[in-house]
Amino acid sequence: MSADLHIRPVGPEDADTVLAVIRAAFEDRPTLTPPTDALGETAATVGRRLERGGGLVAHRGEDAVGTVLLDPEGETCYLRRFGVVPDAQDRGVARVLAAAALDAAAALDGVDRVAVLAREELPATLRFWRRQGFGETYRDAPYVEMVRALPRRVTVPTAEDMRDLAHRTAAVLRAGDVLVLSGDLGAGKTTFTQGLGAALGVRGDVTSPTFVIARVHPSLTDGPALVHVDAYRLHDGVELDDLDLDAELDDAVTVVEWGEGLAEVLSDSPLEIRIHRSAAAPDGDDPRTVEIDPCGARWLGADLPGAP
């Protein structure tokens, strides 16, 4: 991806620019039946869409190379006319534009989820949106509705607050859920998992499983077990598959530390938790910013902690 890629918000005054990107992107796609109505857009119709919800344009240098229109309907924001011009495809533009669209949707009042309408004749498009955390919620051939909840962020000042965040997260978990934890060494991944184990009421002390790779903590109640995995020394998803976790997944909550880029294959709806160190506070606290990213349809309507 070009280092000079940048995303800017646009309004009705940018209708001509947005229309040019839409036409270039959608004219390059295979002919569909029924045909896409994106090619029927005019500067006037695009302007009305932009006036309603706004949009984004991706620029590489001075060139507009991608666009998306925001269409809020109640608590859902639909991403319309998402496209990248042919010369900029397969360079990471779509991924960056999709992430920016989630941020833009989160800034809209009352919006809690984001949706797209994709065509089932375009499997690569469906795969792309799944990789962005969208899950299928409705299909009416040839259209597929895919939806995801917005990521949430929480500021965590202390280790005790991290455990409390885990307690609040545990309240919405059930057997079969997979949590993928990422963050630097000492960021608080194991602290979070300890809080999770306490909230789930499992047996044994939850410690870093680095040297055993995976550890199972059975439930002391009627709840799910906790499977705690450390993927730090694993190089790819094949090695993770060799752990043979399938027998445990359906009956447990599985937490994979250092799992980003590896463990997402364990579930259609992983809950990705990214922990970032913030600037140290004057009182000596070492705060964290925790991003809770609910991928897939499983988390729609779930009362996860934090705010978009």
| Cβ 200 vs Cβ 189: under 8 Å | no
For residue 207, what pLDDT is reported?
Answer: 82
Range 209-222 average pLDDT: 79
Structure tokens at 15: 């209708």
3 state SS for 168-193: HHHCCCCCCCEEEEEECCCCCHHHHH
For residue 193, what pLDDT is reported?
Answer: 95
Is 97's pLDDT higher than 80? yes
- Angle at CA of residue 68, ends 64 and 74, nearest 5°: 155
For residue 248, what pLDDT is reported?
Answer: 72
Band (238; pLDDT cuts 50, 70, 90): very low
Range 66-94 average pLDDT: 97
For tokens 């259609």, name the residue: 268
For residue 241, what pLDDT is reported?
Answer: 56
In this structure, the strands spanning 252-257 and 178-183 are: parallel
Give pLDDT tens digits for 140-185: 999 999 999 999 999 999 999 999 999 999 999 999 999 999 999 8
Phi/psi for 276 (5° steps) reads: -120, 135
Give the lowest-confidence range in 13-17, 267-271, 281-285: 281-285
Give the lowest-confidence range in 105-114, 215-224, 242-251: 242-251
Structure tokens at 131: 């990789």
For residue 284, what pLDDT is reported?
Answer: 61
Mean pLDDT of the chain: 90
Query: What radius of gyration, in Å, describes the C-alpha atoms of the chain?
Result: 21
For residue 261, what pLDDT is reported?
Answer: 73
Q: Helix or strand or coil: residue 277? A: strand
For residue 249, what pLDDT is reported?
Answer: 81
Q: What pTM, to 2 d.p., does this model score?
A: 0.87
Is 299's pLDDT higher than 90? yes
> Which of 170, 173, 176 lies closest to 196, judged by CA?
170
Beta bridge partners of 69: 55, 80
For residue 3, what pLDDT is reported?
Answer: 63
For tokens 């988390």, name the residue: 299
Range 102-110 average pLDDT: 95
Band (1; pLDDT cuts 50, 70, 90): very low
Band (119; pLDDT cuts 50, 70, 90): very high
DSSP 45-94: HHHHHHHHH-EEEEEETTEEEEEEEEEEETTEEEEEEEEE-GGGTTTTHH
